[in-house]
Structure 1
Amino acid sequence: MSFVIRAATPDDLQAIYEMAKLTGGGFTNLPADRKSLEGKIQRSTDCFARKDDDLSDELFVLVLENTETGEIRGTCQLLTQVGQKWPFYSYRLSTLTQHSAELGRTFRAEILSLVTDLEGSSEVGGLFLHPNERAGGLGMLLARSRYLFIGLHRARFADRILAELRGIIDDAGDSPFWDSIAGRFFGMSFDEADTFNALNGNQFIADLMPKHPVYVAMLSDSARHVLGRPNVSGRAAMRMLENEGFAHENYVDIFDGGPTMTARTDQVHSIRNARNAQVAGLGDGGTTSLVATGRLADFRCAYGKVVDGEEGVTLDPATANVLRVGTGDMVRWIER
């Protein structure tokens, strides 16, 4: 069975919508709303069509296609510069140390401050793999294909990159973190607020969110327990991000308290270590690798066998066929 990552098109709307309904909520970049997804795909299509290479506020949506059946089995997104249309809010966890000479004691308090520190960064997000395909490294293919895309279009991305991981949501679909802070000010449930944010933007957060620092000690026990921790389904994603060089630098999501991972773009493993090469020929054998080719809407990425040689790389014929490349074409590749 063969899979390829490619640019999403308007024809993929129904398949992406069906996957969005499987996310279980808390997935702002992939709302289960057909009109919103249609707008995202159209915006992405327009961004793929723009030929200028300057950095601006863009969204690229990619899909994972089974090349044998034509089915769409996963999706992911890249945002080139967050916080341009609306502020990009995060909570920053810091420590305040205070000393009382009279008591002879030092107190250290953890504090959450509402910040827009990450504004202007690029973001990788919106990754969802159909539950029936969560084997064979397809999640890794989806995730790492984004870095090969960035490497092929480096000028269109910022020097810092982030990834938000879903926080912990209980069996009832509620967020202990939301209920302990923002829910007290917004008069709506976590699911209602998350859905409203996905569909309408976050200006309502600027209007209603408390601006003063919040002492972690004043949160509920359940909120403190989930602070900075990913959802169970996001633990593997967190490990993949760490393997790429991302780190949790005490930024958390203002809705569910999930960790925001950050990295310098040029230091991300699959960006820094990927290589450009000409296809010198086709043949069997080689090292299993991620191989990408094409600019913008012509981008394609797949697993394949690569032999690195002095004259270029040799690809296995099946991969060359999936990527639609032949001898003399350029590819960007990195070992799996």
Structure 2
Amino acid sequence: MTFRVRPAHGEDFAAIYEMAKLTGGGFTNLPPDRATLVAKLARSEQSFNRETDEQEGDMYMFVLEDPVEKVVRGTCQVFGQVGVVQPFYSYHLSTLTQASPELGKTFRNQRLSLTTDLEGSSEVGGLFLHPAQRAGGWGGLLARSRYLFMKLHRQRFGDRTLAELRGVMDETGAAPFWDALAGKFFGMSFPEADEFNAVHGTKFIADLMPRSPIYVALLTDEARSVIGQPHPTGRAALRMLEEEGFTYDRYVDIFDGGPTVTAPTDRIRTVRESNEETIAEIGAGGRTKMLVAKGRLKDFRACLASVKRLPKKGICIDEKAAELLEVEVGDTIVAVGR
């Protein structure tokens, strides 16, 4: 099979829904809820069809497909700007140092403060690769294609990009961070709250969540141990984000305590290192493997290609990649080393 990344459309619903059911819960951007996924696809289509190029609260959904076999084996999303319709909440982990001369002791207490610091950022999320396709580098293609889309549509995205990673939970869907903190104020289990958030948004957090800082020492040992830790299945995703230049700056998800990582958009490795190239020849390609992309908005396509550089002419890409990108000799693409 040879895969490419393209914008999702209505006909992809069945495949996306089946993947959503495989996530195992806690995957807010890809809930196994039919109505929510239909609304997401409609919102994505509206975003791709928007003609002006300023940053707005868009959501772009993509799929990883084999166009020959007509199968979809992955999906991901990019958000133009978070916090547009509803506040974007995070906890920020800070340290308060207090000293007592009488006791001769210094105490350093960690606190979690509810914040909207990250509002205005763009976001990458909703990435899920079907278990049958988790070999062959397809996860990297799916993840990095988002940054090439951002490079081709730079004005639609902010100066900072974030990614939220799912936190730690057990086989039943229970999350120790939620049980020790937010669950005390919402009267619902983590799976119930996560589903409600995926469908209705985060306004209920502002309605019920305490505004004062939470001292970490008051949480259970189990809850403290998972703050800023990704779900075991998300460790590979975290490594890919770190390779792109994302860093953890002590922001965590208010539901499960998972880490939120950020990067200056123009410093994301794939954005920074990708360049425009002219296709001078379509043939056997070469030994160099590159991630290549072409197309504006709903015509966007990305795939892996075998590339050979032709001095003073451009590049030669293999015939299959040209077919997947739907390009011809003379077209301009963006390319970055694999």
What range is the shorter-chain TM-score in?
Answer: over 0.9
Matched residue, 2:136: 136
Shift of 1:303: 0.5
Residue among 318, 321, 324 paired with 1:319: 321
Matched residue, 1:167: 167
1:38-53 equivalences under 5 Å are 38-53=38-53
Which amino acid is the alignment partner of residue 333 of structure 1?
A: A
Give yes or no for the alignment of 1:79 onto 2:79. Answer: yes
CA distance in 2, matches of 1:273, 1:148: 10
Matched residue, 1:106: 106
Shift of 1:68: 2.4
CA distance in 2, matches of 1:113, 1:307: 52
Matched residue, 1:198: 198
Matched residue, 1:288: 289
Across the two proteins, how many residue pairs are aligned to each other? 336
CA distance in 2, matches of 1:249, 1:308: 40
> Structure 1 unaligned runs (5+)?
none
SS of the equivalent of 2:320 reads helix
Shift of 1:209: 0.6
Matched residue, 1:210: 210
CA distance in 2, matches of 1:266, 1:311: 28
Which amino acid is the alignment partner of residue 26 of structure 1?
A: G
CA distance in 1, matches of 2:283, 2:265: 34
- Give me the TM-score of the superposition, normalised by structure 1: 0.99
SS of the equivalent of 1:41 reads helix
TM-superposition CA deviations, 1:95-132 (whole Å, max 9, x none): 00011111111110111000000001000000001011
Give yes or no for the alignment of 1:299 onto 2:297. Answer: no
Matched residue, 1:91: 91
Which amino acid is the alignment partner of residue 326 of structure 1?
A: E
Which amino acid is the alignment partner of residue 22 of structure 1?
A: L
Q: Structure 1 stretches (4+) deviating beyond 4 angstroms?
A: none
CA distance in 1, matches of 2:201, 2:335: 36
CA distance in 2, matches of 1:236, 1:15: 23
TM-superposition CA deviations, 1:76-98 (whole Å, max 9, x none): 00001000100000000000001
SS of the equivalent of 2:73 reads strand
Residue among 331, 334, 338 paired with 1:332: 334
Shift of 1:67: 2.2
CA distance in 1, matches of 2:164, 2:282: 39
TM-superposition CA deviations, 1:122-153 (whole Å, max 9, x none): 00000001011100011111100000000000
CA distance in 1, matches of 2:114, 2:327: 48
TM-superposition CA deviations, 1:31-84 (whole Å, max 9, x none): 101111001101110111112111111000000001221111100000010001
RMSD over aligned Cα atoms = 0.7
Matched residue, 2:247: 247
CA distance in 2, matches of 1:131, 1:120: 33
CA distance in 1, matches of 2:303, 2:193: 37
- Give me the TM-score of the superposition, normalised by structure 2: 0.98
Q: After alignment, is 81-90 or 62-71 more displaced?
A: 62-71
CA distance in 2, matches of 1:49, 1:65: 21
> Structure 2 unaligned runs (5+)?
none
Which amino acid is the alignment partner of residue 290 of structure 1?
A: L
Which amino acid is the alignment partner of residue 179 of structure 1?
A: D
TM-superposition CA deviations, 1:201-230 (whole Å, max 9, x none): 110000001111011111001101111000
Which amino acid is the alignment partner of residue 308 of structure 2?
A: V
Which amino acid is the alignment partner of residue 227 of structure 2?
A: L
Which amino acid is the alignment partner of residue 164 of structure 1?
A: E
CA distance in 2, matches of 1:121, 1:324: 32
